[in-house]
Structure 1
Amino acid sequence: MAIGMRCRMLSAYVSTLNRLMSSTVVEPSVAVNHMSANSDNSSRIFRTNESNPAKHGENHLGLFYTVPPDVKQLLFQHGGLPKSFEKQVKTFGETCIMVRPPALEIMEYMKAADYSGPAIRYVLFGKAGCGKTLSLCHILHFGLVSGFLLVHVPWVPNWFRRCKESSNSTTRDGFIDLPLDAAAWLIHFKSQNAPLLQKLNLTINNEYVWSKREVTNKGAPLTELIDLGINRIKYASEIIVAVIREIKELSTSGKCKTLVALDGFNAFFSTKTRIKSDDKSMVLPSKVTLTEAFLEITKFDWCNGGVVLTVDQLAACDDRTGSDFPIYQLGQEGFEHLDPFVPVQIEEYNHREVNSCIDYYIDRRWLQSPKAGTDEGRKELEFMSGRNPFQLMKICAPL
């Protein structure tokens, strides 16, 4: 009797198991697609909900954070994001930046810095496509939420390669003004700092005479000086020199904290430009008024601020492809100008960052190949791209 009961129990168990298997079996090809596109992806965390860079820490490394649309509009309305990344932002419908060690390192330094001493200079360097500009954007966002006045140049080489207009300076013999580019930068500066300028109500410490009828009096709002440069582009280059001078004095006096962020800084020390003088001779960067302004604010003769710069092979107008190191890209003059500074190298993605980026591309349907999410597919993408962020984006685009 016990044997008969055991047989009936075994028969019922087998019958139940068969029903369960028949209700869950799927076609092999569908199972592969599901596993490669979803299962591997869902088992990994590649995002963080923390959108405040001031709160980012080591536990956020390798994760993407979302820049709020209003912040993106405020910071990068007039440039700052790489063109290829900007296209990706439009495609994905969101602005996401990966939290990486170099940006986090500089932000930690800035949190611990003594702002009563000279402004500390940080130099980001590394191979092309490794993420120097996006790390600078991450630091800019940190500066915004931390209450810094931002002095940001999206890409310095644009002034020397494709300036909109050039003219002889009326105040400096042998110098060239870039009036349209200078006015555009003043618009960018005013746009980025609009909330802070309204809150701080900064006033200038010097009087500036532009012509017999146009004078900016001591004690006038800083915004009045900026607006003059925007409306009277003839004086825009010289007004930038004045604005930079005022910002240094205001920061040193403790009326504001300033973050200087210049992308492609080594362009200031190139030996070639595409700017021509009246006699068709080439104009060196040292003879451009804007160069004087931004070399002035990267000195260490002021306090209550920080300076973050990038040096890049692509920024040099001359051939400097021999090395990525600052001493080579800046040349002797540029290196001596910045010395001492804190060098921070940006390297290719590590293994975790590669997988996080692949997961993000799968999530955004940028990467649709069923095999991309498998271990073999990930290893192949990692090898083909050399872990270079830009190359990984290019390789994934058609997949």
Structure 2
Amino acid sequence: MAARACTRKLYLLSVRSNLNCLGPERTLQEVSRRLFASLAAKWKVGKKDVLKIGRITDKESKEMFPLGLPHSFTKQIEVTKKADWLIRKQTNIICDSLDNASTTGVKPRHLLYGHTGCGMTTVLAQVIQHCFQTGWTIIHIANVFGWTHSQFETRPSPEDRDVIDQPAEATAWLNRLSVVNQHTIKQLKVSKAHFWSNQAQSSAGDNLVKVIELGLVRPRFSTDVIPVVLEEILKAENKLKVLVAIDGFNGLFNPTSIRNSEGNWVEPDQLSLVRIVKQLVTSELPTAVVGALSTRGMKRAPIRINAPPEVLLEEKGVEMMKDYDWMEVLPLSRQEFNQCVDLYVKNGWITKKIDFKIQEQLWYLTCGVPLELSKIMRYI
């Protein structure tokens, strides 16, 4: 009993920390009451709505997500050997807008935000899966903070000494881009000649795979190869459906932990990879973009874990994203919560029988936050 009480207390503290923006409430009851009252008007899932369960195969996982799926979901797969997830309402809205883009002629641009643990990364992953299965070309940046806080070697750009290249990060991303879009890239040709060095050149008409291989074999050219590859993909926009998917979107604007040769902190705009991505998300090309805000991996930013999106993006980011559709990923509605618990029971993530009383306690403890629900299930 003492151990169970200790566990409950730990999760109470965890939920309170994740919902600290709600105010200085002293009990979980007050936190829950305040949270549910504020979200009641926002939840749109009705009693008659049919919630869908999606599944991702091991082959799809390796092809779409070379760096892996969201951590909590990966843990469930390791234990249950089943990769099923509840398709969130935000996923359906975004996928519908992407599917309708061909008829409207306007490519949607969405920005996901919400409390930590509510599933922004999961929604983004579900959108990527939908696009992968429907033949989209996917330009996926798994976490911008992986670049802005990288510990790998940096070097000044040959074109501009104030700009920093990250050869290892550029090579790794170029490899992931080619893996996810291998079928598309094989069909594309280089539209003009490019001179990299006396020993490395590409001619107009060369297969794009050849240019990518150059960047992979010679990392010092990888940063220069990426814009060429992206340019050719975007030029084929009339033949391809292209999605730019970015997790840790606010990392494009938050402080880095990289220093230049003089020992000064490098601004995000001084990183070549960040510059390339910013051009993608702000260009006038009709490219679909879905970004997710995150605090996972954030450093050197005096920002609370559940700060509003305007704070996470900072002034420059807010101005740049003014034309985007800002979409909040809420905690689970009660219907979604019940469906999620049923899925956990069915897949064996929960081995104990869940009756109505236990389900009420889970709802009370987690406030419908998916990450908190996944965590607490480990102790049942």
Same fold (TM over 0.5): yes
Contact conserved, 2:51 with 2:336, CA < 8 A, in 1? yes
5 Å-filtered alignment, 1:15-164, equals: 61-76=50-65, 78-114=66-102, 117=105, 119-164=107-152
Q: CA deviation at 1:268?
A: 0.8
From 297, 312, 316, the equivalent of 1:329 is: 312
Asked if structure 2 preserves the Cα contact closer than 8 Å seen for 1:266 and 1:315, the reply is: no
Deviations 1:209-234 (A, max 9, x none): 11122112222222222111111101
TM-fit CA distance, 1:114: 4.4
3-state SS in 2 of match to 1:171:
coil
Quick check: 1:379 aligned with 2:367? no
1:208 aligns with 194
Q: Provide closer, same or farther for how the CA distance between residues 364 and 323 of structure 1 changes in structure 2, counting only shifts above 3 A.
A: closer
Identify which range, 355-364 or 341-350, moves more after superposition. 355-364
Following the alignment from structure 2 to structure 1, what is the Cα–Cα distance between the partners of residues 199 and 105? 40
1:61 CA drift (Å): 4.8
Structure 2 match to 1:261: 245
* CA displacement at 1:323 relative to structure 2: 5.6
The aligned counterpart of 1:296 is 279
- Of 287-296 and 108-117, more deviation after overlay is shown by 108-117
Secondary structure at the counterpart of residue 374 of structure 2: helix
Opposite residue 313 of structure 2, the aligned amino acid is L
Q: Distance in 1 between matches of 2:84 and 2:151?
A: 31
Instruction: Verify: 1:186 aligned to 2:170, yes or no.
Output: no
Query: Shift in Å at residue 60 of structure 1?
Result: 7.9
Q: In the TM superposition, what is the alpha-carbon distance from 1:388 to its structure 2 partner? A: 0.4
Would the aligned equivalents of 1:118 and 1:300 in 2 still touch at CA under 8 Å? no
| Cα pair 2:135 2:241 within 8 Å, conserved | yes
Aligned equivalent of 1:247 = 233
Q: CA, structure 1 residues 393+333, in 2 after alignment: closer, same or farther (shift >3 Å)?
A: same
Give the partner amino acid of 2:232: E
Using a 3 Å threshold, how does the CA distance of structure 1 residues 118 and 332 change in structure 2: closer, same or farther?
farther
**Structure 1 length-normalised TM:** 0.78
Higher Rg of the two aligned structures = 1
Three-state SS of the structure 2 residue aligned to 1:314 is coil
Determine the C-alpha separation between the residues in 2 that align with 1:290 and 1:177.
7
**Residues 230-277 of structure 1, C-alpha deviations (whole Å, 9 max, x = no match):** 1110111121122222222221xx13221110101110101x212121
Q: CA deviation at 1:339?
A: 2.5
SS in 2 for 1:302: coil
Q: 2:110·2:290 contact (CA, 8 Å) conserved in 1?
A: yes
| Deviations, residues 73-105 of structure 1 (Å, cap 9, x unaligned) | 2111x2252223222211111222211100100
TM-aligned CA deviation for residue 333 of structure 1: 1.2
- Letter paired with 2:202: T
- Superposed CA RMSD: 2.1
The structure 1 residue matched to 2:263, chosen from 268, 277, 280, is 280
What amino acid does structure 2 have at the position aligned with 1:313? T
Letter in 2 for 1:64: I
Between the aligned residues of both structures, percent identity stands at 24
Q: Which amino acid aligns with 1:382?
A: W
Amino acid at match of 2:223: S
Aligned match of 2:26? none
Structure 2 Cα separation of the partners of residues 116 and 171 of structure 1? 40
Change (3 A) 1:391 1:182: same
Q: Deviations over 1:129-158 (max 9, x none)?
A: 111111111110111122111100111111
Whole-Å Cα distance in 1 between the matches of residues 151 and 226 of structure 2?
16
Distance in 2, matches of 1:115 and 1:172, equals: 42
Once residues 350 and 339 of structure 1 are traced to their aligned partners in structure 2, the CA distance between those partners, rounded to angstroms, is: 28
Following the alignment from structure 2 to structure 1, what is the Cα–Cα distance between the partners of residues 103 and 201? 33
Residues 137 and 170 of structure 1: CA distance in aligned 2, closer, same or farther (over 3 Å): same
Q: Which residue of 2 aligns with 1:167?
A: 155
Which runs of 5 or more residues in structure 2 are unaligned?
1-46
Distance 2:129 2:154 in 1: 32
* Counterpart for residue 18 of structure 1: none
Q: Which of 185, 197, 221 is 1:235 aligned to?
A: 221
